[in-house]
Chain A
Amino acid sequence: MRVEVTVNGQQRTADVEPRTLLVHLLREEFGLTGTNVGCDTSSCGACTVLLDGESVKSCTVLAAQADGREVTTIEGLASADGALHPLQRAFQENHALQCGYCTPGMVMVSMSILAENDTLDEATVREGLEGNLCRCTGYHNIVKAVLAAKEEMGAQL
């Protein structure tokens, strides 16, 4: 079947089997390998992307369900001139990643956390990150990074 998706602002189309998952559409059809697969039970969140602005685990969404909708992946966050998004920058500045495998998912779910909360505290951030697993950082610096990004992005508004 044919699916038409706006990915990171670009119109993309592909012919896929009906059983194709969104994550495989992104990785294999569109070559967007920044979105990672870390499990087979929708537990780890490494594949988190934004679907119409809301975070979803792209291993639990069929490619067909994304038809006609907008998807944002980790590749779509930096500006065209290569400047990192304030959230990406906060991840770097706070050493919120080590091996980097969970990172795209962590960043994308954090985009949702930032968008959905006018104010943030540590408990809210931790709750928001609950569906995403990281084995390297112990979450300490990820939490710090999200709070720092909120502060910086809030100041910009």
Chain B
Amino acid sequence: MTMTDPTQQEHIIGKRRVRREDPKLLSGENRFADDLVVPGALHLVLVRSPHAHARIRRIDVGAAQSMPGVVGVYTAQDLQAEWAGPMPCAWPVTPDMKSPTHYPLAGEFVHYAGEGVAAVVARSQVEAVDAAGAVIVEYEELAPVLDLEDAVRDAALAHEELESNASFVWTLEPNSEAVDAAFRDAAVTISERYVQQRLIPAAMEPRAMVVVPSPMGGDFTVYSSTQIPHVLRVMLALTAGIPETKLRVVAPSVGGGFGSKLDVYAEELLCLALARRLRQPVRFTEERGEGTMATIHGRGQVQYMELAADADGKVRGIRVKLLADMGAYLQLVTPGVPLLGAFLYHGVYDVGAYSFTCTGLFTNKTPTDAYRGAGRPEATYAIERAMDSLARKLEMDPAELRRRNFIAAEKFPYESVAGLVFDSGSYQENLTKALDAADYGQLRAEQQQRRAAGSPRRLGIGVSCYVEMCGLAPSRVLASLNYGAGGWEAATVRILPTSKVQVVTGTAPHGQGHETSWSMIVADKLGISPDDVEVLHSDTSIAPYGMDTYGSRSLSVGGTAVYLATERVIEKAMKIAAHQMEVAEEDLEYVGAAFRVKGSPEQQLPLAAIAFEAFTAHNLPDGVEPNLEASISWDPPNFTFPNGTHIAVVEVDEETGRVELVRYIAVDDCGNQINPLIVEGQIHGGITQGVAQALYEEALYDGSGQLLNASLADYLVPSACEVPSFELASTVTPSPTNPLGVKGVGEAGTIGSAPAVINAVVDALSDLGITNCPMPATPERVYQLIQQAKSE
């Protein structure tokens, strides 16, 4: 253990620290799931439906079965006995929520293009692919349900077995009379319709998995590119009917998730069931072209957003109606995604009257589920777009309108009309800082100059202020929302005999740098070097308890658990130190990795010595167990509420419709920062994903339900040429929800950015009378808007 000089004990938390994860990732030494070499592993390839909605008339596997290397070809019927239950949805948001039957392979009907209809297992990948091509499936095509506003009318049904396309209607109406009154008395109202297009998460690593059975031992090891090894283990046990004790789930290096690996997938269940049946390892790696259809999509909502305001711009009431696209089936948390936004449609504004209704609808498209931000980017988009519309209607500066409506800093903790308690924030300061950094006045002057000169390169400035709820979640709140699990996180801290420290966390990082940050938290508390702290995770036999990584929860819940476990270890060590030094615990203090007598710092015992004493157990006080270890499961008392102001500056080419993002300024308050280097990286990436929604990405379907841009050649994930360098700053209002004062930062960038960019695009064109621009703002779309505006 490297001791720091107690007199110069430096804080590690809050300092930029390069990541310990990097050398392995930078040298090809780490292993992603598809890199794992498993002798004798068989290869699974799925035959997928080319149709969005069809009845399966006949499947002929005869020819495929006799192809070289083929071990077996299986249909839904062949595997039905393998399942103890259907594919899981953990979030039945209403008691009467409809959820169609969903098994890993389609039975009589297929409900989206890309749904698996047969599983081919062969000795090599090439042989499996070839055999899959030889499976003959006869379909009788049925009318697909593709559009949300059609779906809600039930003209056609996405599922034969259901009477309606509606899965559920979920409402939040704390004061509907006040809402009616606000709209009745309003000086001005805004009523707009926004479309949250479907997005393909496109983590760079395609999903991959391998299941290794131990036929004689009766157990299975599942290696999967998942964000949720712990949740996955529970769900696999329940669905495949395998005792949880016989399942070990390992997430090796995972190449990004963004929510798309926060799920239980058909292929995971198929690999497990087939490994059990064949008594051999079975592996699956998706090709990008199938992953775009077989891995969940994000967003997919139509939002009807209404504001009621006074003549001076004070917003009095908000009414939201939402149609949310579930896709063909309910995946793990599909129906809960709109709920994560439901509480936030009033944004950072002090609004007294609020109502929200969401209808979850089935369509014959790839299932949706949580995608970076999950519900909160949608909510932020709606309120921030509507605020700009209100500002335009009142001929008020959009920044000034926001300022008039902010929840004031002195109101925290702030009880919102939707029933949340916002922890802390200084929304005024975020805005001021962002406007100053952007030189907002100068930008507006330049915009006017360009307009006066008739410049075809139009300048647009877009402001977006956001607040989100992170730190999922207080378990009792999840219970009130009908979620099927808790929101706690587990951690163990143990100091080994040689005084090296092991931290076990229930979080499952896949790019977020938990190994580095958690080691900083522990080292800071113990007064040692982070290099002496090892962080173990993502393996259920090493870390048996955990709720995994999603929703910007890991630091505020998991990091806090690590911090509290460290405190407990110190408490235990203190008892041993007091015993051995023959002083009372109250007379000791822990400074610089040593216990010392208050007032007599020369009398001290280093933590390293206590660690060894705890190991030998030769001289422990009565009632104190050997070993220096503490475990904790921590349930947060509240959510955390990261917030910020983002400003996008765009140039719109009037002649081509091309939008160029020329500057991007972000001021974010994620509470205290453990490692600012990582915080900035999360924000950069988050912004880019929001910019991608605003300008580039959309899962496009034709009238028959075919995904038209199923490859990365057609689906426009932005490259380095589509985004600028970002200008970041932060404010810090520590969260009182946890002892670290942290809030979370994984999704903030994505939540703030799409409305900032679209507000900028509309701002650039507003003098033409343009008030809205659908996402993505492609050159074609923008060009047509301009032409249409000019002809009117």
Once the chains are docked, how many angstroms separate the CA of A137 from the CA of B721?
Answer: 14
Interface string of B186-223 (1 = CB under 8 A from A): 00000000000000001111100000000000000000
Residues of A within 8 A of B21 (CB): 100
Residues of B within 8 A of A138 (CB): 684-689, 723, 726, 749
Closest to A99 in B: B511
Residue B254, interface by CB 8 Å: yes
CB distance from A97 to the nearest CB of B (A): 6
Q: A134-B204, A136-B685 are in contact. Are A77 and B27 (CB under 8 A)?
A: yes
Once the chains are docked, how many angstroms separate the CA of A40 from the CA of B286?
Answer: 10
Residues of A within 8 A of B600 (CB): none
Q: A43-B711, A132-B719, A139-B723 are in contact. Are A34 and B255 (CB under 8 A)?
A: no
Q: Which of A40, A102, A125 is close to B287, meaning CB atoms less than 8 Å apart?
A: A40
Residues of A within 8 A of B510 (CB): 99
CB distance from A132 to the nearest CB of B (A): 7
Residues of B within 8 A of A88 (CB): 23, 26-27
Q: Is the CB of A139 within 8 A of B720?
A: yes
Q: Is the CB of A130 within 8 A of B721?
A: yes
Residues of A within 8 A of B686 (CB): 138
Residue A41, interface by CB 8 Å: yes
Q: Which of A92, A95, A133 is close to B712, meaning CB atoms less than 8 Å apart?
A: A133
Once the chains are docked, how many angstroms separate the CA of A25 from the CA of B398?
Answer: 57
Q: Is the CB of B28 within 8 A of A129?
A: no
Pick out which of these stretches binds chain A: B38-46, B168-176, B673-681: B673-681
Q: Is the CB of A91 within 8 A of B26?
A: yes
B: contact size bracket: 35 or more
Q: Is the CB of B712 within 8 A of A99?
A: no
CB distance from A15 to the nearest CB of B (A): 15
CB distance from A125 to the nearest CB of B (A): 7
Q: Is the CB of A143 within 8 A of B205?
A: no
Residues of B within 8 A of A39 (CB): 288, 711-713
Once the chains are docked, how many angstroms separate the CA of A1 from the CA of B202?
Answer: 35
Residues of B within 8 A of A78 (CB): 27
Residue B284, interface by CB 8 Å: no
Q: Is the CB of B205 within 8 A of A101?
A: yes
Closest to B513 in A: A98
Residue B480, interface by CB 8 Å: no
CB distance from B698 to the nearest CB of A (A): 16
Q: A135-B685, A138-B726 are in contact. Are A75 and B27 (CB under 8 A)?
A: yes
Q: Is the CB of B205 within 8 A of A103?
A: no
Q: Is the CB of B720 within 8 A of A130?
A: yes
Q: Which of B26, B203, B720 is close to A142, meaning CB atoms less than 8 Å apart?
A: B720
Q: Is the CB of A92 within 8 A of B26?
A: yes
Residue B781, interface by CB 8 Å: no
Q: Which of B29, B204, B687 is close to A99, meaning CB atoms less than 8 Å apart?
A: B204
Q: Is the CB of B712 within 8 A of A135?
A: no
Q: Is the CB of A135 within 8 A of B204?
A: yes
Closest to B205 in A: A101
Q: Is the CB of B27 within 8 A of A92?
A: no
Once the chains are docked, how many angstroms separate the CA of A139 from the CA of B204?
Answer: 14
Residue A120, interface by CB 8 Å: no
Q: Which of A40, A100, A127 is close to B253, meaning CB atoms less than 8 Å apart?
A: A100
Once the chains are docked, how many angstroms separate the CA of A125 from the CA of B720?
Answer: 9
Residues of B within 8 A of A97 (CB): 22, 25-26
Q: Is the CB of A129 within 8 A of B719?
A: yes
Residue B289, interface by CB 8 Å: yes
Interface string of B666-677 (1 = CB under 8 A from A): 000000000001
Q: Is the CB of A133 within 8 A of B204?
A: yes
Q: Is the CB of B203 within 8 A of A34?
A: no
Q: Is the CB of B511 within 8 A of A98?
A: yes
Mark out the residues of chain A between 108 and 157 whose CB falls within 8 Å of any chain B CB in the assembled complex. 122, 125-127, 129-144
Q: A46-B204, A101-B256, A138-B688 are in contact. Are A92 and B720 (CB under 8 A)?
A: no
Q: Which of B27, B29, B684, B711 has the most CB of A within 10 A?
A: B27
Residue A36, interface by CB 8 Å: yes
Mark out the residues of chain B between 616 and 663 whose CB falls within 8 Å of any chain A CB in the assembled complex. none
Q: Is the CB of B725 within 8 A of A104?
A: no
Residues of A within 8 A of B23 (CB): 84, 88, 92
Residue A62, interface by CB 8 Å: no
Q: A40-B289, A95-B19, A135-B202 are in contact. Are A100 and B684 (CB under 8 A)?
A: no
A: contact size bracket: 35 or more
Q: Is the CB of A36 within 8 A of B205?
A: yes
Residue A6, interface by CB 8 Å: no
Residues of A within 8 A of B682 (CB): 98
Interface string of A65-78 (1 = CB under 8 A from B): 00000000111011
Q: Is the CB of A92 within 8 A of B22?
A: yes
Once the chains are docked, how many angstroms separate the CA of A104 from the CA of B28?
Answer: 7
Residue B35, interface by CB 8 Å: yes
Q: Is the CB of B258 within 8 A of A135?
A: yes
Once the chains are docked, how many angstroms separate the CA of A136 from the CA of B201?
Answer: 11
Residues of B within 8 A of A137 (CB): 681, 684-685, 688
Q: Is the CB of A95 within 8 A of B681?
A: yes
Residues of B within 8 A of A44 (CB): 204, 288, 712
Q: Which of A34, A101, A107 is close to B29, meaning CB atoms less than 8 Å apart?
A: A34
Q: Which of A34, A98, A140 is close to B726, meaning CB atoms less than 8 Å apart?
A: A140
Mark out the residues of chain B between 1 and 33 whose CB falls within 8 Å of any chain A CB in the assembled complex. 18-19, 21-23, 25-32
Residues of A within 8 A of B680 (CB): 95, 141
Once the chains are docked, how many angstroms separate the CA of A94 from the CA of B54?
Answer: 51
Q: Is the CB of B256 within 8 A of A74?
A: no
Q: Which of B28, B512, B677, B711 is close to A33, meaning CB atoms less than 8 Å apart?
A: B28
CB distance from B403 to the nearest CB of A (A): 29
CB distance from B723 to the nearest CB of A (A): 6
Q: Which of B28, B678, B725 is close to A140, meaning CB atoms less than 8 Å apart?
A: B725
Residue A48, interface by CB 8 Å: no
Q: Which of A33, A38, A92, A122 is close to B725, meaning CB atoms less than 8 Å apart?
A: A122
Once the chains are docked, how many angstroms separate the CA of A132 from the CA of B718?
Answer: 10
Q: A41-B713, A92-B18, A136-B256 are in contact. Are A99 and B27 (CB under 8 A)?
A: no
Once the chains are docked, how many angstroms separate the CA of A88 from the CA of B18?
Answer: 13
Closest to B22 in A: A92
Closest to A27 in B: B35
Q: Is the CB of A36 within 8 A of B32?
A: yes
Q: Is the CB of B28 within 8 A of A84?
A: no
Q: Is the CB of A40 within 8 A of B288?
A: yes
Interface string of B683-695 (1 = CB under 8 A from A): 0111111000000
Closest to A77 in B: B27
Residues of A within 8 A of B725 (CB): 122, 140, 143-144
CB distance from B371 to the nearest CB of A (A): 12
Once the chains are docked, how many angstroms separate the CA of A44 from the CA of B720?
Answer: 12
Residue A31, interface by CB 8 Å: yes
Once the chains are docked, how many angstroms separate the CA of A134 from the CA of B688?
Answer: 10
Q: Which of A37, A99, A107, A132 is close to B26, meaning CB atoms less than 8 Å apart?
A: A107
Once the chains are docked, how many angstroms separate the CA of A31 from the CA of B31?
Answer: 11
Once the chains are docked, how many angstroms separate the CA of A144 from the CA of B712?
Answer: 25
Residue B717, interface by CB 8 Å: yes
Q: A99-B510, A140-B684 are in contact. Are A31 and B37 (CB under 8 A)?
A: yes
Residue A58, interface by CB 8 Å: no
Q: Is the CB of B28 within 8 A of A73?
A: yes
Once the chains are docked, how many angstroms separate the CA of A77 from the CA of B26?
Answer: 9
Once the chains are docked, how many angstroms separate the CA of A83 from the CA of B128?
Answer: 41
Q: Is the CB of A43 within 8 A of B712?
A: yes
Once the chains are docked, how many angstroms separate the CA of A143 from the CA of B681?
Answer: 13
Once the chains are docked, how many angstroms separate the CA of A9 from the CA of B680?
Answer: 38
11 sampled A-B residue pairs with Cβ under 8 A: A33-B31, A75-B27, A84-B26, A98-B512, A98-B685, A99-B204, A99-B205, A101-B203, A137-B685, A138-B749, A144-B725
Q: Can you name 9 extra interface pairs (CB under 8 A) apart from A101-B256, A126-B720, A130-B720? A: A91-B26, A92-B18, A92-B19, A98-B685, A100-B21, A100-B30, A101-B203, A129-B720, A134-B720
Report which B residues bind A (CB closer than 8 A).
18-19, 21-23, 25-32, 34-35, 37, 202-206, 253-256, 258, 287-289, 510-513, 677-678, 680-682, 684-689, 711-713, 717, 719-721, 723, 725-726, 749
- 6 nearest interchain CB pairs? A34-B28, A101-B255, A100-B25, A99-B511, A138-B688, A138-B684
